[in-house]
Amino acid sequence: MAIKAIKGINDILPDVVGKWQLVESVARRIFSNFNFQEIRIPILEKTELFARSIGETTDIVEKEMYTFPDRNGQLLTLRPEATASVVRAFIEHKLHLQPAMRKFYTMGPMFRHERPQKGRYRQFHQINVEVFAMDDPMVDAEVIYMLLVFLEALKIPDIKLHINSMGCPDCRLPFRQSLADYLEGVSDKLCADCKRRRLTNPLRIFDCKVDSCGKLVENAPVLLDHLCHECEKNFQGVRDHLDSLAVAYTIDPFMVRGLDYYTRTTFEAITPHLGAQDAVGGGGRYDGLMKALGGPDLPGTGFAIGMERLILLLDDKAGAATDSHNLFVACLGEEAKKKGFSLVQELRLSGLSVEMDYESKSLKAQMRRADKLDATHVLILGDDELAKGAALLRDMDASTQEEISLKKIVEELLQRFKLEM
Ligand code: HAM
């Protein structure tokens, strides 16, 4: 039996790769305008990195990580997200000593063992953005603004921005107590997971997908009502800056995000077009993370966008090939084929997209293939033409053909296709 790919881990076939390339190039262009630099980080890390940053009692760490011992018995994990790795790299390479390196982006595959469905996969791709050592609320607003500018550039429709504040350890501690008190009163109505979460990490109850827990959570105290003065001021600052950039948002006190490292402002970009998987991207501030991972005490903020979700939301025609200078070289006869073979390489080196047929098929069959490949022109090379030092160039749209000399064929084609010599 043929071997199939793993459930939830998908191929990306050439007919959609144009969309992926579009998303990547728009990200690079916009992020570079905002002065972000690309960083590339490993896919495999020590398990401890994720357990310590995302949080031991989050769903991601408890249930979703691909973790295994390597041949030396060291516990490794396929990265479920990128923030932890970017922070680790920043600490490891002492980038805080290089003031030019504060704003990073990275793209690539992440792995979470979730139940696959539309918009949710076990290998998925993120575009990830992180900013370090800047705690002004203006930076939060700017990062959110950049996310929206990016989604707008890709014409993603009907995006709604939700924001919340996760406070700081000072306000979280007393809040945790009042939440624990509330949950104690309703503990017999909680699902089995939430019964456990109530004691280990009560805030995670807000993530629970079980309907009955959702109802209980609606009446639970929320962190937003328990912010300390500084966090309150900071959140107001972010909102003022968002207002000044004319960014519309909804304050969502129940949005806690699934990772424990967040502090202060968090956000999600939500779409109504993807069913249950409605977050196109999300992020927030994580001011204690770098210190907790053994680095300098520098704040951080950022976001990640789910690329598969973006691709699902793109217009059908987005990313379709636009350059239409495809040339097919049809050869008739052994000599012509040999000449054609070297000519094809020369034309490719000159910047043209060229294909030929290697199977010595009839001219009709070669023309059919040229058509399938959307060739705009076919260069017909027969032993007779070759003897005259010429070839026939057929314009597929106009259905016209003319003889051109082989001597200056490269220059001639480049000129016709208006490509630089
Ligand atoms: P996250 O909310 O876990 O945040 O993931 C960000 C985005 O990745 C989601 O909004 C969603 O679009 C996409 N995503 C997550 N899981 C899946 C999945 N199983 N299949 C398809 N797409 C998925 C983070 O990962 C944080 N590291 C973001 C961040 C960066 N916060 C600060 N800096």
User: 47-71 pLDDT, tens per residue?
Assistant: 999 999 999 999 999 999 999 999 9
Nearest CA to 329 among 358, 308, 351, 307?
358
Which residue owns the Cα nearest ligand 1 atom 20?
120
pTM value is: 0.93
pLDDT at 333 over 80: yes
- pLDDT-based confidence at residue 92 (cuts at 50, 70, 90): very high
- More confident call, 167 vs 209: 167
Kindly state if the Cβ of 162 falls inside 6 Å of ligand 1.
no
What is the pLDDT, as a whole number, of residue 420?
Answer: 54
- pLDDT-based confidence at residue 351 (cuts at 50, 70, 90): confident
- pLDDT-based confidence at residue 320 (cuts at 50, 70, 90): confident
Q: Domain residue spans in the chain? A: 14-168+228-313, 327-414
Give the mean pLDDT of 269-282. Answer: 95
What is the pLDDT, as a whole number, of residue 419?
Answer: 66
What is the pLDDT, as a whole number, of residue 305?
Answer: 98
CA torsion angle for 135, 136, 141, 144 (degrees, to 10)? -20
Give the DSSP H or E segment for 91.
helix 83-92
Kindly state if the Cβ of 282 falls inside 6 Å of ligand 1.
yes
What is the pLDDT, as a whole number, of residue 414?
Answer: 86
* Percent of the chain scoring above 90 in pLDDT: 82
- pLDDT-based confidence at residue 325 (cuts at 50, 70, 90): low
pLDDT at 421 over 80: no
Least-confidence region, from 92-101, 196-205, 245-254, 300-309: 196-205
Quote the ligand 1 centre to 126 CA distance (angstroms): 7
Kindly state if the Cβ of 36 falls inside 6 Å of ligand 1.
no
pLDDT at 81 over 70: yes
Strand positions, DSSP E, 286-418: 300-306, 326-332, 353-356, 377-382, 390-395, 400-405
- CA separation (Å) from 39 to 27, 77, 80, 131, 351? 14, 20, 17, 12, 30
Kindly state if the Cβ of 306 falls inside 6 Å of ligand 1.
yes
Give the DSSP H or E segment for 233.
helix 229-244
Quote the ligand 1 centre to 133 CA distance (angstroms): 22
3-state secondary structure of 245: coil
What superfamily does domain 14-168+228-313 belong to in CATH? Bira Bifunctional Protein; Domain 2 (3.30.930.10)
Question: CB–CB of 331/386 below 8 Å?
Answer: no
What is the pLDDT, as a whole number, of residue 58?
Answer: 92
Residue to mutate (ligand 1; options 309, 311, 312, 314; most atoms within 8 A of CB): 309
Strands 123-132 and 160-165: unpaired
What is the pLDDT, as a whole number, of residue 323?
Answer: 59
Kindly state if the Cβ of 120 falls inside 6 Å of ligand 1.
yes
Quote the ligand 1 centre to 209 CA distance (angstroms): 17
Instruction: Give domain 327-414's CATH architecture.
Output: 3-Layer(aba) Sandwich (3.40)
Nearest CA to 239 among 151, 140, 150?
140
Question: CB–CB of 52/292 below 8 Å?
Answer: yes
Residue to mutate (ligand 1; options 117, 124, 164; most atoms within 8 A of CB): 124
pLDDT digits (tens, 9 = 90+) for 372-414: 998 999 999 998 889 999 999 999 989 999 999 999 888 988 8
What is the pLDDT, as a whole number, of residue 324?
Answer: 60
Atom of ligand 1 nearest to the CA of 259: 3
φ/ψ of residue 13, rounded to 5: -85, 160
